[in-house]
Structure 1
Amino acid sequence: MKGFPDLPPLWWLGSIGLIYLGKYLLPGWHFTLFVLNVVSWLFLVAALGLIGRSTLWFFRKKTPIEPNHQPKDLIVEGPYQLSRNPIYLALVMLTIASAIGHGSVLGIGAAMLLWKVLDRRFAEPEEEDIRLAFGQAAEQYFKQTRRWF
């Protein structure tokens, strides 16, 4: 759709929409266990914390957070020491949290689909931009840090 913003949070909302749609269209594919609610909340809190800490580094480094914008600095500190894409990882974790919390079998598939979309549409092209902008420093960072976890 021309003119529609192609942004990771919108893809994440789509994955959440699949969970809710599946809950109503495929009610037999859902289950409830108290322990899953606890696990869901743990994923939720961890994901929100990861987004907050990761976002903070963009502001500290004064570099754009939006995909497809030219990076001004290479972020290798904080959560970026463990994952090259901690915000994308957190969006997948939020989808998993929702899937677990709703007992949605379909939601696990939505999380895997979101992971693939974020990897292909955003992570891979961004890494090319980072390579062009930061050269050998980027290559060294890519060797030291995994793309996801």
Structure 2
Amino acid sequence: MTQTKDVPGVIAPPPLIYLGFLLLGWGLGQVLPDPGLGLETLWRRGVAVVLIVAGLVIDGAAAGHFRRLGTRVEPWHPSTVLATDGLYRFSRNPIYLGFALAYVGFAVAMDSLFALALLIPCILVVDRLVIAREERYLAARFGAAYADYRQRVRRWL
């Protein structure tokens, strides 16, 4: 894939990918009998709130770190700085981890086994069609600094 612009060329905005899979799971539950998750309502709500809040806190912290560094969060804008500290010391993709946690929280809140199961293909799509493209872009943009960072820090956790 030839890079024609100073952006990674991801397939779609990552939040929309997660939302699309979540809505697909909900839709399947509307046309097929969804067995649910088997959690009592109070537990389900509590787990859902904790996961959604945790995901949003991670996303907010990671996005805030980008802003403090003076680079854009959105992958359709050029990256001007390589984030390697803060949450980025532990994962090269904390925002996508936050999205995944929030996704699980919403699937639990919906009591949808279908939505929860679709997280697996969702993560595969994000991994192959978003992260892989972002990594090629960052390698071309930041060279040895990104190669060193990639060796030190895992993609997910």
Q: TM > 0.5 between the two?
A: yes
Q: How does 1:123-138 map to 2 (within 5 A)?
A: 123-138=131-146
The answer on whether the counterparts of 1:15 and 1:95 sit within 8 Å (CA) in structure 2 is no
Misfit runs of 4+, over 3 Å:
none
Letter in 2 for 1:119: D
Matching residue within 27, 30, 44 for 1:24: 30
| Deviation at residue 140 of structure 1 after TM alignment | 1.3
| Deviation at residue 143 of structure 1 after TM alignment | 1.2
- Counterparts of 1:66 and 1:106 in 2: how far apart (Å)? 29
Q: 1:62 to 1:35 in 2, by over 3 A?
A: same
1:113 counterpart residue number: 121
139-148 or 46-55, larger mean C-alpha shift:
139-148
Q: How does 1:3-14 map to 2 (within 5 A)?
A: 6-14=12-20
1:64 and 2:68 are equivalent in the alignment = no
Percent identity at matched positions? 30
15-24 or 112-121, larger mean C-alpha shift:
15-24
- Counterparts of 2:47 and 2:118 in 1: how far apart (Å)? 18
- How many pairs does the alignment contain? 145
Root mean square deviation of aligned Cα? 1.7
- Counterparts of 2:51 and 2:85 in 1: how far apart (Å)? 22
Letter in 2 for 1:17: L
| Deviation at residue 32 of structure 1 after TM alignment | 4.1
Kindly provide the CA deviation profile for residues 47-68 of structure 1, in whole angstroms up to 9, marking residues without a partner as x. 0001100111111111122214
The answer on whether the counterparts of 1:40 and 1:100 sit within 8 Å (CA) in structure 2 is yes
- The answer for unaligned runs of 5 or more in structure 2 is 1-10
The answer on whether the counterparts of 1:50 and 1:90 sit within 8 Å (CA) in structure 2 is yes
Q: TM-score, normalised by structure 2?
A: 0.84
Q: 1:123 to 1:28 in 2, by over 3 A?
A: closer
Higher RCO (CA-CA < 8 Å; seq separation 6+): 2
Kindly provide the CA deviation profile for residues 86-110 of structure 1, in whole angstroms up to 9, marking residues without a partner as x. 1111111121111122221111222
Letter in 1 for 2:147: E
- Counterparts of 1:22 and 1:37 in 2: how far apart (Å)? 21
